[in-house]
Amino acid sequence: MRFAIGDTDFLLDGEPHRILSGAIHYFRVHPDLWADRIRKAKLMGLNTIETYVAWNAHAPSPDVFDLTDGLDLGRFLDLVAEEGMHAIVRPGPYICAEWTNGGLPYWLFTDGTVGVRRDEPGFLGAVSSYLQALAPVLVPRQIDHGGPIVLVQVENEYGAYGSDPVYLQKLEAMHRAIGLTVPFTSVDQPMGTMLEDGSLPSLHKTGSFGSRSTSRLERLRQAQPTGPLMCSEFWDGWFDSWGEHHHTTPAAASASDLDDLLAAGGSVNIYMFHGGTNFGFTNGANDKGVYRPIATSYDYDAPLDEAGRPTAKFHAFRSVIERYAPVPVLPASMEPGGSGRLESYAYSSDSLEARVAPATDLAVRLDRVASLRSLLPALTDWSTHDTPPTFDALGAASGFVLYRTEVDLPSGGVLTVGDEVRDRAIVSVDGTVVGVLEREHHDRAIALPAVTGTLELLVEDQGRVDYGPRIGEPKGLIGGIAVDGVPLARWSASPLALDPMPEAALTILADALPTDGNALAGPVFATGSFDLDSADDRYLRLDGFRKGVAWVNGFCLGRYWSRGPQRTLAVPGPVLRAGRNDVVVLELHASAARTVQMLAEPDLGHTEA
> Peptide bond before 225: cis, by omega within 30 degrees of 0?
no
Burial class (CB in 10 A: 0-12, 13-18, 19+), 169: middle
Q: How far apart are CA 277 and CA 296, in angstroms?
A: 6
157 is catalytic: yes
The separation between CA 499 and the C-alpha centre of its own chain, rounded to angstroms, equals: 15
Burial class (CB in 10 A: 0-12, 13-18, 19+), 515: exposed
Q: CA 301, 24, 96, 398 torsion: positive or negative? A: positive
Q: How far apart are CA 176 and CA 165, in angstroms?
A: 16
Decide: helix, strand or coil at residue 150: strand
Q: Which of 155, 157, 456, 473 is catalytic?
A: 157
Burial class (CB in 10 A: 0-12, 13-18, 19+), 279: buried
Q: How far apart are CA 233 and CA 207, in angstroms?
A: 7
Q: How far apart are CA 32 and CA 75, in angstroms?
A: 11
- According to DSSP H, which parts of 243-357 are helical? 251-263, 312-321
Segment holding 389, helix H or strand E: none
* β-pairing verdict for 20-24 and 267-274: parallel
C-alpha Rg value of the chain to the nearest Å: 25
Q: How far apart are CA 357 and CA 32, in angstroms?
A: 18
Q: How far apart are CA 581 and CA 558, in angstroms?
A: 18
172 is catalytic: no
Q: Cβ neighbours of residue 68 under 8 Å, at least 6 residues apart?
A: none
DSSP string, 61-101: STT----SGGG-HHHHHHHHHHTT-EEEEE--S---TTBGG
Q: Estimate the crossing angle of helix 73-82 against helix 121-138, to 10 degrees.
A: 40
What values do phi and psi take at 606, rounded to 5? -75, 150
Query: HEC profile for 354-399?
Result: CCCCCCCCEEEECCEEEEHHHHHHHHCCCEEECCCCCCCCCCCCCE
Q: Cβ neighbours of residue 490 under 8 Å, at least 6 residues apart?
A: 384, 386, 405, 406
Decide: helix, strand or coil at residue 443: coil
Picking from 418, 588, 420, 384, the residue whose alpha carbon sits closest to that of residue 486 is 418
8 Å CB contact between 593 and 544: yes
Burial class (CB in 10 A: 0-12, 13-18, 19+), 268: buried
Picking from 373, 376, 371, the residue whose alpha carbon sits closest to that of residue 498 is 376
Centre a 10 Å sphere on the Cβ of residue 416 and count the other Cβ atoms it contains.
17
Q: Which of 98, 233, 460, 473 is catalytic?
A: 233
Residues with a catalytic annotation lie at 157, 233
